Structure 1
Amino acid sequence: MNERILKEFKEYLCREYRKYGTICSYYIRLRKFLKWLDKPVEDLTKDDLLRWRSYINQKFAQNGNISRVVAVNVFLRFIGKHEEWKIPVPPPKRTNKTPLNREQLDKFLEASEDDYLHHLIALLEIDGLLRPSEITEIKISNIDFDTQRLFLEDTKTGDNYIIISPRLQQAIESYFKFQRPEPLEKYKDYLLIIPSGRKLAGHKFSVKAGIIRDITKRIAIKADIKRKVTPYVIKPSSITRKFEERANPRVIQRMARHKNIKTTLIYDLTDENSVREYFQQQTKIDTNNLSPKDKARLWLDKFISGEIDSESFKKGIDTIKEIQEKQTNDIDYIQ
């Protein structure tokens, strides 16, 4: 039952989508939906869709249901029912995974230093903020040390690039010089290659094989971190640490390649002690002794960092202008 429509749907996915993972995910989700439906697609009704949504809401986690609903919506578009039967996609639910603290992240990086490959993976996660699927696809031809750019193709956020930190550049050069195995001809342009003595030696790393996850886990064990550590723990931990270092949120947003600043701010876990420390620092700044130019620069820094909104920034600048004009008039009057 429904074998023909499933085959046609897979062909449709191959035409419309480039990423193998996306094609497989939508196809598998749709196959499971049709198994639940247990009747020919020709007999599908809107009530069936409502019952299915109720079923997955009760059985599965909200975030997992996003891909299930999207897959069925893609299928509805394929059969021409998308406009009238489209299912609302559930909003993502934030998962409160506790990030590694500064000491743990430092220990993680230090534990990777005795292996060129492990150190490179650690820095691609910490400095590059890359996902496993992005790490495995890094190409040598996309690395430009002159401009400090590592170009990324066909990622979750489209074609993009990251800025290569000096220590990440050193790790790439060291791995390439001392540890990178000889690749098969078709994989010569890929940075990460499976070493000899292992299955698929000479092939590029595959995200499906879980190599990046396994290396991350091994580094964490070596660092004696007593909790489960995955690449999806390292990335938010690194972002959170950058907030603690008072980095500009817009800079962090660019590093993480988030389209929306709200996504970046999710990782800002500022606590009460940080707020008290901030106020103590502010009281040390005597704005009365600052020149109008320095005051304007201070307000601009506050605006860029998100401490004040655009309206407060404008009022502050207007006030500085008024004071400056008054001082100028007073000087003219004295002269």
Structure 2
Amino acid sequence: MNEYSIMKWQQTLKDYQNYLKIERGLSDNTVYNYSHDIKKLIGWLDKNDIRVSPDQISEEEIQQFIYTMAKQVNPRTQSRLISGLRGFFNYLIFEEYRSTNPLELIESPKLGRKLPDTLTLSEIDDILGVIDLSAPQGERNRAIIETLYGCGLRVSELIGLQISDLFFDEGFIKVTGKGDKQRFVPIGNVTMKFIDIYRTEIRVHQEIHPSAKDILFLNRRGKPLTRAMIFTIVKQLTEKAGIRKNISPHTFRHSFATHLLENGADLRAIQQMLGHESITTTEIYTHIDTTHLTQVINQYHPRKDL
């Protein structure tokens, strides 16, 4: 691909990133994921010396690219790639650079809905039970697990949680979610207790970096924790507890929603607590077994005893 074409793609990608961030209010992480898909296309065009700009690329060239990628990635990644590219070309239509979307007739691979792993109450207790509270980070890690499960937070919401977001007298925390949208989430007494223990017995004795004065959960250098560190903490505790499921920080969010639903909570209330715009998204998180569904019918349907 010639230098002009590369520059054209790079400039268009930069404009698209600004649009996603400023006009659509998407997080840096989401913008990065969308951009990564487009960079794959740019790299493929360059490697194959296909000299075409974003406003000129054809459906045949896009199909060739996706056919190549289909040999390298699983169907789920392929589906996300197609969705990301479709959004990019819709943006070009919106900005009147193109009149058609070259992915209009390209179908994503059919995906079966994979139910996420959830943890049982005893498994959560097992994970909490293996935390070494005599270690410097033990109380912090217990408070992190309790907050992930007790409030159903995303990892990004947990590491961004501030002391000024804690309204314990009212029984709520203020959470900043995707697109910087804020919501209030109820917090239980147990979670509040372990956060307070961490704050008053561990965090108060740390030398805290000036930029992290209000951040709740800190690393041993007094700085905010990273997403990677939360994943590491969860992985190590899960392995130590002998749990063989595919567990990540998000598993506690799945479990939070599923356990609430199984105990009779309203789906719309769960939707608000999770910060989902669509109830459909909440239904994916709250996978429940058929035994529970049968119990609901037997208990609540007006014709159950006829």
Residue among 252, 258, 277 paired with 1:240: 258
Structure ranking higher on relative contact order (CA contacts 8 Å, 6+ apart): 2
Distance 1:140 1:10, change over 3 A: farther
Note the aligned Cα RMSD (angstroms): 3.1
On the 8 A contact 1:124/1:168 being kept in 2, the answer is yes
Give yes or no for the alignment of 1:32 onto 2:52: no
Equivalent position SS for 2:175? strand
Distance in 1 of aligned mates of 2:159 and 2:60: 43
| Between 235-244 and 179-188, the greater mean CA deviation after superposition | 235-244
- Matching residue of 1:261: 279
* TM, length-normalised to structure 1: 0.70
Shift of 1:214: 0.9
Equivalent position SS for 1:84? coil
- Matching residue of 1:7: 10
Give yes or no for the alignment of 1:185 onto 2:210: yes
Distance 1:264 1:23, change over 3 A: closer
Give yes or no for the alignment of 1:51 onto 2:52: no
Distance 1:145 1:154, change over 3 A: same
- Matching residue of 1:60: 73
Distance in 1 of aligned mates of 2:287 and 2:87: 35
- Matching residue of 1:270: 289
On the 8 A contact 2:212/2:224 being kept in 1, the answer is yes
Distance 1:237 1:161, change over 3 A: same
On the 8 A contact 1:63/1:93 being kept in 2, the answer is no
On the 8 A contact 2:184/2:273 being kept in 1, the answer is no
Distance 1:94 1:83, change over 3 A: farther
Give yes or no for the alignment of 1:85 onto 2:93: no
On the 8 A contact 1:108/1:220 being kept in 2, the answer is yes
Distance 1:113 1:83, change over 3 A: farther
| Between 37-46 and 123-132, the greater mean CA deviation after superposition | 37-46
| Between 103-112 and 154-163, the greater mean CA deviation after superposition | 154-163
Distance in 1 of aligned mates of 2:28 and 2:222: 21
Instruction: String of CA shifts for 1:184-228, please: whole Å, max 9, x gaps.
Output: 112212112221xxxxx2321122xx1111111122233232344
Unaligned runs of 5+ in 1: 196-200, 283-301, 313-335
- Matching residue of 2:189: 166
Equivalent position SS for 2:190? helix
* Count, aligned residues: 277
On the 8 A contact 1:9/1:75 being kept in 2, the answer is no
Higher radius of gyration, 1 or 2: 1
- Matching residue of 2:239: 221
* TM, length-normalised to structure 2: 0.76
- Matching residue of 2:161: 138
Distance in 1 of aligned mates of 2:166 and 2:152: 16
